[in-house]
Structure 1
């Protein structure tokens, strides 16, 4: 079977890892520069900075088994109930695939099913064809933006999902400096991560600041630079400024978390050999992404065996 996967976050990479073992030919298409999705890592002066999920917890036995295997590979370490990356959280995804099958900076904009085969077209008008199965792991809104003839029932399901945005700022410096103490008393930020402390960096200061949903949702139609400026102005009015030695990298997670999830493990259209999975099925986090993609890959293995 020739399989196309759109999205190289955890869902897409788990699908790939489970299905490649059955000797299928698989191509993963990713619009950004690498794997990860919310498990993304910025590389700054050979230092890791996780600007999405910094670490996570789980009580699910199957996901624990998956994470324990990553501990053996020294990709994760465990502190109490928390799984923490050792060399960038994006290694979770990149460890699951063969890079030769990954097409980065390739935004698929159209998908056509004709004569029992899928043909894909990217934003540069380049086509990729002859796929037997198409698997979509991107946010529901991005699926609905595709030029694709979806099964009406699948389309109805995808339209049910709504998202919260999260605006994020990475602050970094080669000097050993800290954040303004008053930051923790504001209600602007949902979470502030001391990234350098996580990696035991002593000669590199790095913090990841995730603003709350209210601020992020209100400003998610602006550019990340515009949002950064607005947030800095907001802080300045509270007499909070950042040390001039900090460099700031802004990022907008427009579809950060599903506000409401679909009460099923995945979607699959038998007539079109089209599957959908991700972190908006049952659970809206990376555990949900893992479980949804695992169930979809199991289903595909059975249906094509």
Structure 2
């Protein structure tokens, strides 16, 4: 008696050659984006402003329609099977959107009702507690600070326990406490099996949290790999120091300068010595010299400054 082949798990999210154009095709926001996210992944979608990240998420959430291509959530097409796709998805948007006439608890009860979820008080209480909203449960939404409103947006996205969580710049403009609280809770949900798709400009968050990362530039995927592989593929050494003077011309062209902090990449020990020798020869008085590994921000800038090219997904 032959045994049945093992069941193949559907991807949590699938983007198949997604394009989006405006003005009759004159403006291209997305140009054939294709990738999959496995169930249970913590996946990062990175790119500069205008790269197409929010457009892609809007298509996923049903807020915009792709010009061509398809998107599915757990096998449910977001157009042809939109109801099932929406139930499997929880989206935290960039914008602060709220109804000023309800309290926090009422807002979450109403959101539960949108998805037909009854008797949800225990989970609502858990969300309020884990997101630091317990003492604001009966406060009116318009009385909350911007950071507290963003916590409510996160709770709204999670209130129907979606298997896929999409976080679009969730920590933009919020305090350190919220960032830590949010990531602890989301990391817990991910360990419990929820798939997470994150867009963020805080690249240290993506490096710490995401197992795989895709990078968008001008509506196209220019990098798609495991986070560790992306980090391994760039210059392995980064010099960081403080400087009040102008850099020598040869170093200024390749350095990243943020105020007094200068970062210069080097590929090996010999190049480190060359950089230090050039600084000494120019009479530069450097402070707080550190020699460390390149981080995801270094990788991101290196990729964004190179020519756009399609990237093949690797496991």
Q: TM-score, normalised by structure 1?
A: 0.28
Larger radius of gyration: 2
More helix by share: 2
More strand by share: 1
